[in-house]
Amino acid sequence: MKISDRKTIRKYKAVDVEKTLIHNLLRTASRAATMGNMQLYSVIETRTAEGKATLAPLHFNQPMVTSAPVVLTFVADFRRFTRWCDLSDAAAGYDNLLSFLNAATDTLLFCQNFCTLAEEAGLGTCFLGTTVYNPKGVIAALDLPMLTFPVATITVGWPDEDPAQPDRLDIEDLVHAETYHDADDDTIRRIYAYKESLAENKHFVEINHKQNLAQVFTDCRYTRKDNEAMSTGLLEALHLQGFM
């Protein structure tokens, strides 16, 4: 699957994905840009039924977590590097917010590179944004120590579905020449008009008894109440892991 044809795959064949293949793809993925060539990431590879069962509720029991042959949790990791500094009489100062963001950035670039390579190899992937919804749970489940933090989870397997590609916004509406140009109200309405017109989105509005698609997002899918509660949990987890 080329990047232009890419789609999320949530159903996988009951066929293993060899550890060697996954590690080869990860090795190539590590060619991504990385700050100061520090490679501030680790990957936790979950293959056992027990491991998947522990992770599943942390990802709202999305079925991919238990049905995928491999679940990869991508972890921002300043621990390994800091330990090397400690062993070298070097005074590491990476227990702060900037260092978290630097490590998270390294990790996400590496993660996206892995996804591209996996899809090129015929595998299907699903990116679970839920990883940062309950980081404390993931940290406990995977024994993540200080100066590490989970930022992404990818389920991987051989595709057993071929869904339609979802819509995307017009790229011209996302690119700004020289400085940010705030769109006027009519332009904002136009940008999202196609998305609102899609039958599946009209269906979401109807079954949720909402007036429009935006309300499905704000009132059902990504609510202020949930976002604020999860932001509190995220801050607590950043403290817990030593990044604040």
Residue ranges in 186-225 that form contacts with a copy of itself under rule CB under 8 A: 188-189, 191-192, 195, 211-215, 217-219, 221-225
User: Which residues are within 8 A (CB) of 133 and not within 5 positions of it... i.e. 6 or more apart?
Assistant: 60, 230, 233
Select from 2-10, 62-70, 155-163 the region that touches a copy of itself (CB under 8 A): 2-10
* Pick 35 or 207: Cβ nearer a copy of itself: 35
Distance from C-alpha of 213 to C-alpha of 243, rounded to nearest angstrom: 37
How far is 60 from 217, CA to CA, in rounded Å?
17
Q: Residue 38 Cβ, how far from a copy of itself at the closest point, in Å?
A: 7
Q: Looking only at residues 123 through 152 of this chain, which bind a copy of itself when binding is defined by CB under 8 A?
A: 125-127, 129, 132-133, 141-145, 148, 151-152
Nearer to a copy of itself, 83 or 202 (CB): 83
CB of 171 to a copy of itself, least distance (A): 4
CB of 17 to a copy of itself, least distance (A): 14
Q: Is the dihedral of CA 143, 70, 124, 111 positive or negative?
A: positive
Residues numbered 73 to 112 that lie near a copy of itself (CB under 8 A) are 75, 79-81, 83-85, 87-94, 96-99, 101-102, 104-105, 108-109, 111-112
The minimum distance between CB 137 and a copy of itself, in angstroms, equals 14
Which residue among 14, 20, 37, 199 contacts a copy of itself (CB under 8 A)?
A: 37
Query: Letter for the amino acid at 29?
Result: A
**Shortest distance, CB of residue 26 to a copy of itself, whole angstroms?**
5
Alpha carbons 126 and 115: distance in angstroms, whole number: 9
Number of shown-chain residues binding a copy of itself (CB under 8 A): 115
- According to CB under 8 A, which residues from 148 to 177 bind a copy of itself? 148, 151-152, 165-169, 171-177
Q: What distance in Å separates the CA atoms of residue 215 and residue 209, rounded to the nearest whole number?
A: 10
Among 16, 27, 202, 209, binds a copy of itself (CB under 8 A): 27
Minimum CB–partner distance for residue 69 and a copy of itself (Å):
14
Say which residues have a Cβ less than 8 Å from residue 10's Cβ, sequence separation at least 6: 62, 63, 64, 124, 126, 155, 161
Paired tokens of 64: 């991919």
Give the burial class of 77: count Cβ atoms within 10 A of its Cβ; 0-12 exposed, 13-18 middle, 19 or more buried: buried
CA distances from 97 to 3, 121, 136, 146 (A): 32, 36, 17, 13
Return the C-alpha torsion angle 152, 156, 159, 160, nearest 10: -100
| 4 is a site residue for a copy of itself (CB under 8 A) | yes
Task: Find the binder of a copy of itself among 13, 21, 38, 67 (CB under 8 A).
Answer: 38
